[in-house]
Amino acid sequence: MDFTAKFTQLQQYFSHNKTRDLAWRKQQLQQIKRLVVDNESAFLSALATDLGKPAQEAWMTETSYVASDVDHTCKRLHRWAKKRSVSTPLVAQPGRSYIQPEPQGTVLIIGAWNYPLQLILAPLVAVIAAGNCALVKPSELAPTTSALLAKLIPQYLDKNAVSVVEGGADETTALLALPFDHIMYTGNGQVARIVMAAAAKHLTPVTLELGGKSPVYVDDSADLNITAQRIAWGKWMNAGQTCIAPDYILCSKRLVTPLTTALKAQIINMFGQEPKQSKSYGRIVNQRHTKRISDYLADQDIAVGGEFDLENRYIAPTIVINPARDSSLMSEEIFGPILPIIAIEDFAQAKAFVTMRDKPLAAYIFSKNKHQCQAWVHDVRAGNQGINDVIMFNAVPELPFGGVGPSGIGQYSGQAGFDNFSHLKSVLARPFIKDLPIRFAPYGKIKFKI
Ligand code: NAD
């Protein structure tokens, strides 16, 4: 398997500077939107095949997400791409200092299966906006969406600038051997280490969008119904297969039962008494993952749900009470529809619980106590945070999205994405006016003090 020719062709096209032209970039961005809009029903059907995604959910989190991203980016592209003037200190005066964003070259985008459209096209929007060429590799675990992207991208986008390779670990390994100018990987931390090691061979910068166990602290002061509705939506959307979904809840002992009851009521509101029959509830991506997730349920105190069907990749929305802290349910990212609720003594213990563990991709708090919310944001290190809501920060395009530590490296969304795939080049421009003599040898003409 050799993708050298494809890669070289992209590199050569980049060197002709066509992709630096802002009009070309805008036109290509509009084509990404057209690709999604013209083929929306085909994408919704592919996402239903791959993940049982309900159409409205897929529209909210995949197709319309990408379309809005294009609109947001096109409106601001000229501003982002402009020179950014900065002040010049006395030592460099007279002079003019500025930052000139410039494209990096050819970027490899490796997508994951859980949002198989968004996780390819949203990074592509940022990569094209920044003036790069791209080679995209959708996830083989969402094969219908991958095939559709591979068919449509060459029809809508400049084939010289954007190329698609389908496949799994073998194809990705072959791609990773090439000297890309930037690699963007979305997926799990183990493969991220392989990606980073391969990138190190060429000193290629990486953006790693990974996962982790995103905690939620619910304080006694929180409005229980609103809290339960927002958490239930964020947890059971895409059957829990969302990188920033709540992984587990921490709350006081007295809140465990009322919160469980409120969450159960929301499950019934959203998916009825039999979620398996609901058109609003998705499926697990494959049987291997269904088995992995359902294995977490062994020997647990299941308060709600717990039913699963390996063959049909179904796991019910499930709540588990006080799992052992060293169980695999509490040491691995769940990435499925099981929600543990853990009783803790107080807010300080909740913070300690979270800060003793890996830095998560998101950390959430539900509380009416403003000081507590501020302390949570200040003391808990996480990629992103939500106060009194989950996931919705990702709907704010100017909030950079990304992890920290084991949950990721680098950020995208809005200008953060543009900057991430640009090189922010520093320029100092000086006129031909004589300098102060202090700068030049021979030294020793003045007395100096540090
Ligand atoms: P996945 O199985 O689709 O793998 C991701 C990509 O890695 C695929 O394109 C796959 O082909 C490639 N890959 C797999 N094995 C490889 C290997 N040995 N060498 C090279 N490439 C290989 O997705 P996944 O990893 O199961 O995704 C789930 C994880 O991704 C979760 O941890 C989740 O939290 C995280 N995630 C993060 C974000 C984010 O934006 N931060 C978004 C979605 C998912």
pLDDT in tens, 146-163: 999 999 999 999 999 999
Same domain, residue pair 202 and 58? yes
Same domain, residue pair 332 and 350? yes
pLDDT at 445 over 80: no
pTM value surpassing 0.95: yes
- 210 CB within 6 A, ligand 1: yes
**Structural domains in the chain (count):** 2
The domain boundary residue, chosen from 354, 371, 395: 395
Separation between Cα atoms, residue 200 and residue 198, nearest integer Å: 5
Q: What is the pLDDT of residue 32?
A: 98
CATH number, domain of 235, equals 3.40.309.10
- 114 CB within 6 A, ligand 1: yes
Count Cβ atoms below 10 Å from residue 76 Cβ, excluding itself.
Answer: 16
133 part of a folded domain: yes
pLDDT in tens, 244-298: 999 999 999 999 999 999 999 999 999 999 999 999 999 999 999 999 999 999 9
Q: What is the pLDDT of residue 393?
A: 97
Domain span holding position 34:
3-210+407-428
CATH number, domain of 21, equals 3.40.605.10
Q: What is the pLDDT of residue 446?
A: 78
Q: DSSP secondary-structure letter at 194?
A: H
Distances (CA, A) of 69 to 36, 78, 123: 12, 15, 10
Same domain, residue pair 244 and 135? no
Q: What is the pLDDT of residue 450?
A: 77
The answer to whether residues 320 and 303 touch, using CB atoms and an 8 Å cutoff, is: yes
446 part of a folded domain: no
pLDDT in tens, 92-137: 999 999 999 999 999 999 999 999 999 999 999 999 999 999 999 9
> What are the counts of helices (DSSP H) followed by strands (DSSP E) for the chain?
16, 18
pLDDT in tens, 325-339: 999 999 999 999 999
Non-local CB neighbours of 131 within 8 Å, separated by 6+ positions: 19, 20, 25, 81, 102, 103, 422
DSSP SS3 for 252: strand
Q: What is the pLDDT of residue 444?
A: 82
445 part of a folded domain: no
Same domain, residue pair 279 and 193? no
The kind and range of the H/E element at 22 are helix 22-38
Q: Average pLDDT over the chain, rounded to whole?
A: 97
275 part of a folded domain: yes
Same domain, residue pair 371 and 413? no
Q: What is the pLDDT of residue 449?
A: 79
| Residues forming beta bridges with residue 362, ordered by sequence position | 384
pLDDT at 318 over 80: yes
Mutate to test the pocket of ligand 1, among 137, 210, 214, 358 (most ligand atoms within 8 A of CB): 210
Ligand 1 atom closest to the CA of 140, numbered from 1:
11
Same domain, residue pair 193 and 220? no
Same domain, residue pair 32 and 163? yes
The answer to whether residues 186 and 383 touch, using CB atoms and an 8 Å cutoff, is: no
Same domain, residue pair 329 and 377? yes
Q: What is the pLDDT of residue 447?
A: 77
> How remote is the CA of residue 193 from the centroid of ligand 1, in Å?
11
436 part of a folded domain: no
Same domain, residue pair 310 and 255? yes
The answer to whether residues 401 and 113 touch, using CB atoms and an 8 Å cutoff, is: no
Q: What is the pLDDT of residue 313?
A: 98
Task: Check whether the bond before 54 is cis (ω within 30° of 0).
Answer: no
> How remote is the CA of residue 90 from the centroid of ligand 1, in Å?
49
Per-residue confidence band for 437, with pLDDT thresholds at 50, 70 and 90: confident
- 300 CB within 6 A, ligand 1: no
443 part of a folded domain: no
Same domain, residue pair 65 and 202? yes
DSSP SS3 for 335: coil
124 part of a folded domain: yes
Residue 220's identity, in one-letter code, is D
- 188 CB within 6 A, ligand 1: yes
440 part of a folded domain: no
Mutate to test the pocket of ligand 1, among 188, 412, 413 (most ligand atoms within 8 A of CB): 188
Same domain, residue pair 48 and 196? yes
Same domain, residue pair 206 and 220? no
> How remote is the CA of residue 3 from the centroid of ligand 1, in Å?
21
> How remote is the CA of residue 111 from the centroid of ligand 1, in Å?
7
% of the chain with per-residue pLDDT over 70: 100
% of the chain with per-residue pLDDT over 90: 96
Active site residue 209: yes
> How remote is the CA of residue 105 from the centroid of ligand 1, in Å?
24
pLDDT in tens, 339-398: 999 999 999 999 999 999 999 999 999 999 999 999 999 999 999 999 999 999 999 999
